[in-house]
């Protein structure tokens, strides 16, 4: 049985003792019911992981001793930025979780005309922080040591500006003629390099004609993804799985 993994904002250093954050301590004590001496794995999201052991644990706090560092890397050579039309409630949580497990590099929540949820100001910042925590938790489960960034919600124009340096830009669109799979099969990943891809997906009601035109001006090529129309929370993870299976680390 592998040691439980915990994300610690860090920075972490070998041969030090740290007090776990309240949420992590509660998880260790109340959920996992670990006792002093139990082994853990810690990571701070910057790459690599540390062996650790639980030193003390009571109802209020827990301390761990940080051990040896391992530079293990489980990142895909496909660096996919997912521009996701904001979905409602738990759908967005599930999408962030599954996209993280499937190796997404960055998630940009996009506020579109048909987004049911409209976020601004402090509310947008709170939701972004919540989604970032969802990504951190997914990394704990799946073994990733680099946490994908979940940005604050952006409108489509700002989202397009944030991926200006990304060479491959694809939009999932049921009316498109080019299959996503064929585009993925044409990807050539350098032996010691990465390939950057931006993937745009609309919200529940899809993108408007004006937004589709804006995406086209931003260089997004429409891609067809099979004969069925997928829900917005399904489309992103499904497309990521295809990309990883055809050209990413699931193909290894």
78-251: CATH topology is: Alpha/beta knot (3.40.1280)
Highest mean pLDDT among 77-81, 90-94, 174-178: 77-81
Euclidean distance between CA atoms 148 and 139, whole angstroms: 9
User: 0.95 exceeded by the pTM?
Assistant: no
Beta bridge partners of 69: 50
Average pLDDT over residues 149-167: 94
Average pLDDT, the chain: 92
Give Cβ neighbours of residue 60 (< 8 Å, ≥ 6 apart): 25
- Quote the pLDDT of residue 70: 96
pLDDT of residue 115: 73
Domain with CATH 2.40.240.20 in the chain: 5-70
pLDDT mean over 101-105: 98
Looking at the chain, the domain(s) classified CATH 3.40.1280.10 span 78-251
**Confidence label for 250 from pLDDT (cuts 50, 70 and 90):** confident
CATH 2.60.40.420 for domain 5-70, yes or no, is no
Over 90: is that where the pLDDT of 87 sits?
no
CA distance 243 to 179: 12
- Give percent of the chain above pLDDT 70: 97
Angle at 208 between CA 158 and CA 186, to 5 degrees: 70
Q: Where are the alpha helices (DSSP H) in 143-231?
A: 156-162, 180-185, 209-217
């Amino acid at each position: 049985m592998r040691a439980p993994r915990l994300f610690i904002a860090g920075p972490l250093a070998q041969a030090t003792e740290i007090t776990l954050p309240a949420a992590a301590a509660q998880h260790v004590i109340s959920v996992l019911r670990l006792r002093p001496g139990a082994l853990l794995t810690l990571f701070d999201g910057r790459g690599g992981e540390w062996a650790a052991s639980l030193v003390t644990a009571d109802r209020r706090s827990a301390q761990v001793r940080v051990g040896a560092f391992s530079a293990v890397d489980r990142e895909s050579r496909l660096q996919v930025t997912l521009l996701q039309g904001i979905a409602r409630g738990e759908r967005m949580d599930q999408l962030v979780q599954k996209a993280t497990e499937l190796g997404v590099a960055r998630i940009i929540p996009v506020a579109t005309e048909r987004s049911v949820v409209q976020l601004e100001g402090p509310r947008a910042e709170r939701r972004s922080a919540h989604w970032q925590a969802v990504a951190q938790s997914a990394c704990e489960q799946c073994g990733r040591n680099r946490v994908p960034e979940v940005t604050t919600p952006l409108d489509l124009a700002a989202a397009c500006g944030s991926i200006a340096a990304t060479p491959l830009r694809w939009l999932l669109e049921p009316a498109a003629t080019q299959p996503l799979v064929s585009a993925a099969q044409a990807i050539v990943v350098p032996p010691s390099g990465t390939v950057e891809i931006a993937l745009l997906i609309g919200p529940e009601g899809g993108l408007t004609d004006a937004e589709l035109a804006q995406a086209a001006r931003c260089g997004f090529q429409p891609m067809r993804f099979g004969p069925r129309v997928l829900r917005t929370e399904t489309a992103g993870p499904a497309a990521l799985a295809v990309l990883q299976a055809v050209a990413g680390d699931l193909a290894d």
